Amino acid sequence: MRSGASAPLALADTGHGIQAFARRQVGRLVGAGLFLAVAFGVASLATWNVADPSFSHATNNTVTNAMGYAGAVFSDLAMQFFGLAAVAALVPAVIWGFLLFSARGVDRLPKRGLSWFGFALLAAAMAGCVVPPKTWPLPTGLGGVFGDMVLKIPSVVIGGYPTGLIASIIAILLAAPALWLFAHGSALIGRKNGFAVMED
C-alpha cells in the first residue's frame, strides 16, 4: 500500500515528476531553437549586403545573402538599428540557449529581456563612438540608429556628436553598465533555479 500511495506523489514532484520532465524537454527544444536562430542571424549578418532587397530597400537585385531573402531582411534591419553591435546583441541568446538546453532555465524573463535590450543599446552606442570608415554604406554611425540616439544625450552637453578623445571616454564610461546589463540579461548573475530544476 505504501508504494502505491507514494507513486502519485512522485509523479507530482516538481523535480522528478512528469511535469518537470515535460518542462525540461520544452526547455531543450526552445534552447535548440535559439541556437538555430543565432546561427541564422550570424550567417545573415556575415553575408549582409546593403544592395540586397529588403523592407527598406525595394530593388530587383538578386539576393546575395546566404540565408536568402529572410536573411537579407534581418541583416538589413539589424544593421540599420544596431550597426556592428548587432553581432554582440546575439550573444545573450547563445547563453539563454545553453541554459535552456541544459535544463537550468532562465528566470525573470521580462527583466532579463529588458537588460538584454539595454546591453544592446549601450553596445550600439559604444560602436557609434568609433569613426566609421569612408566605405561605411549607411547614413548612421557604426552603432546604427540606436547608437546615434543614445549618443545624442552627451552630444547635447558637448555641443556635437562625440568624436576623438571624448568619444573614447564615453565608450569607456559605457563599458561598465553595458557589462552588467550583459551579465544580467544573459542570466549569468542574480539567478535563481530556473524551471524544471530540482530545488533543495
**pLDDT for the residue numbered 90:** 96
Q: Please indicate, yes or no, if residue 3 is contained in any of the structural domains.
A: no
Candidates 77, 85, 83, 45; CA nearest to 178 is: 85
Q: Please indicate, yes or no, if residue 194 is contained in any of the structural domains.
A: no
Q: Please indicate, yes or no, if residue 197 is contained in any of the structural domains.
A: no
Q: Which residues of 115-150 are buried (b: 16+ CB within 10 A; e: fewer)?
A: bbebbbbbbbbbbbbbebeeeeeeebbbbbbbbbbb
Q: What is the pLDDT along the chain (200 residues), one digit of tens a residue?
A: 444 444 443 333 445 568 777 777 887 888 899 999 999 999 999 999 988 888 776 778 889 999 999 999 999 999 999 999 999 999 999 999 998 888 787 888 899 999 999 999 999 999 999 999 999 999 899 999 999 999 999 888 888 888 889 999 999 999 999 999 999 999 988 876 544 333 33
Q: Which domain, by its residues, includes 170?
A: 9-185
Q: How many domains does the chain have?
A: 1
* Alpha carbon 136 to its chain's center: 23
CB 85 within 8 Å of CB 120: yes
pTM exceeds 0.95, yes or no: no
Residues 6+ apart with CB under 8 A from 85: 120, 123, 124, 126, 127, 143, 144, 146, 147
Q: Please indicate, yes or no, if residue 192 is contained in any of the structural domains.
A: no
Q: Please indicate, yes or no, if residue 13 is contained in any of the structural domains.
A: yes
CB atoms within 10 A of CB 160: 10
Query: Residue by residue, what is the 3-state secondary structure of the chain?
Result: CHHHHHHHHHHHCCCCCHHHHHHHHHHHHHHHHHHHHHHHHHHHHHCCCCCCCECCECCCCCCCCCCHHHHHHHHHHHHHHHCCHHHHCCHHHHHHHHHHHCCCCCCCHHHHHHHHHHHHHHHHHHHHCCCCCCCCCCCCCCCHHHHHHHHHHHHHHHCCCCCHHHHHHHHHHHHHHHHHHHHHHCCCCCCCCCCCCCCC
**pLDDT for the residue numbered 200:** 36
